[in-house]
């Protein structure tokens, strides 16, 4: 009986989570503008989506910032993880606490804090401020993805490489990085995914002239939801779902290898 109740409860949760998304995806193929009547299957709104200059510009901003943020945060996060791992227990604990704070802090607090920082330093908000903001909240996730791999590797491997004549740089690229590469890749993909669908931080750290997809959807929703937004949302959902499945599959493989 308890087993049935648990499954029923889970089914209800999944129903309320995913049925609206399924309806949205189905409506993206509706030939008509009305959301109340089905007027036939059509790719009309997808065609209009790719012919919309504003949406294509927002797509470029979204993808380019996600890629750049993932690259920069992966480099910084990996180096930070190596540094934290090399610390003694007490400083390491303090650094991990500082690392976890941005992850537990509400996005709106992070967004407003960064906005005030840019205003205080008189930095004009736009593409580059949004990129800096995305790097800021991506780095902690990369650190937490890389640290477990550092703890798994033999702590004497790096020292052995130095004793055999390797330079610190050579040992980093040929001894440490190959060992922690699964964590680095997972962190990079997670950073890309988080950056791709961020709204709150992006909204506060950019200007109306530079919008990513999430801020564009928000601004257009005030005037009424266009059918092209259904098509755009459907594509975003499918893309993010695919990325999350890849990340989870990689994480599962890493757990099995342990």
pLDDT at 65 exceeding the cut of 90: yes
Task: Please state, in angstroms and rounded to a whole number, the distance separating the CA atoms of residues 221 and 237.
Answer: 17
pLDDT at 70 exceeding the cut of 90: yes
* In CATH, 54-257 is 3.30.70.270: no
In whole angstroms, how far apart are CA 159 and each of 155, 164, 176, 203? 8, 9, 11, 46
- The tens digit of pLDDT for each residue in 74-92 reads 999 999 998 888 888 888 8
Provide mean pLDDT across the span 153-168: 81
The conformation of residue 122, written as its DSSP 8-state character, comes to T
- The tens digit of pLDDT for each residue in 91-109 reads 888 888 888 888 888 889 9
Task: Please state, in angstroms and rounded to a whole number, the distance separating the CA atoms of residues 52 and 227.
Answer: 12
Percent of the chain with pLDDT over 90: 24
Type and span of the H or E element at 184? helix 177-196
Residue 255 CB neighbours (<10 A): 8
Residue 162: the pLDDT is: 81
pLDDT at 132 exceeding the cut of 90: yes
Q: Answer whether 189's CB lies under 8 Å from 181's CB.
A: no
Question: Pick the residue with more confidence: 223 or 141?
Answer: 141
Provide mean pLDDT across the span 36-46: 82
pLDDT at 258 exceeding the cut of 60: no
* Residues contacting 96, CB < 8 A, separation 6+: 84
| Whole-structure pTM value | 0.80
Residue 250: the pLDDT is: 66
Task: Please state, in angstroms and rounded to a whole number, the distance separating the CA atoms of residues 103 and 137.
Answer: 7
Provide mean pLDDT across the span 39-51: 85
pLDDT at 14 exceeding the cut of 80: yes
Type and span of the H or E element at 16? helix 2-27
* Residues contacting 42, CB < 8 A, separation 6+: 29, 30, 31
Residue keyed to tokens 């227990």: 89
* Residues contacting 144, CB < 8 A, separation 6+: 99, 103, 187
């Amino acid at each position: 009986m308890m087993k049935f109740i648990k499954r029923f409860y889970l089914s209800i949760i999944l129903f309320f989570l995913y049925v609206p998304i399924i309806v949205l995806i189905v409506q993206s193929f509706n030939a008509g503008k009305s959301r109340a009547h089905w007027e036939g299957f059509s790719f009309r709104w997808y065609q209009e989506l790719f012919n919309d200059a504003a949406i294509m510009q927002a797509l470029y901003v979204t993808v380019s910032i996600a890629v750049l943020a993932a690259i920069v945060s992966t480099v910084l996060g990996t180096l930070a993880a190596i540094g934290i791992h090399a610390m003694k227990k007490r400083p390491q604990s303090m650094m991990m606490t500082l690392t976890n704070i941005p992850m537990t802090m509400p996005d709106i607090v992070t967004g407003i804090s960064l906005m005030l920082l840019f205003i205080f330093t008189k930095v004009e908000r736009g593409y580059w401020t949004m990129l800096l903001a995305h790097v800021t909240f991506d780095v902690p996730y990369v650190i937490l993805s890389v640290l477990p791999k550092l703890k798994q590797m033999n702590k004497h491997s790096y020292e052995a490489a130095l004793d055999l004549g390797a330079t610190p740089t050579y040992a980093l690229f040929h001894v440490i990085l190959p060992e922690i590469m699964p964590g680095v890749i997972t962190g990079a993909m997670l950073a890309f995914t988080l950056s791709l669908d961020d709204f709150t931080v992006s909204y506060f750290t950019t200007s109306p002239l530079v919008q990513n997809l999430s801020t564009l959807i928000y601004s257009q929703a005030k005037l009424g939801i266009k059918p092209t937004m259904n098509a755009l949302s459907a594509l975003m959902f499918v893309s993010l779902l695919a990325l999350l499945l890849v990340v989870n599959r990689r994480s599962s493989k890493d757990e099995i290898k342990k």
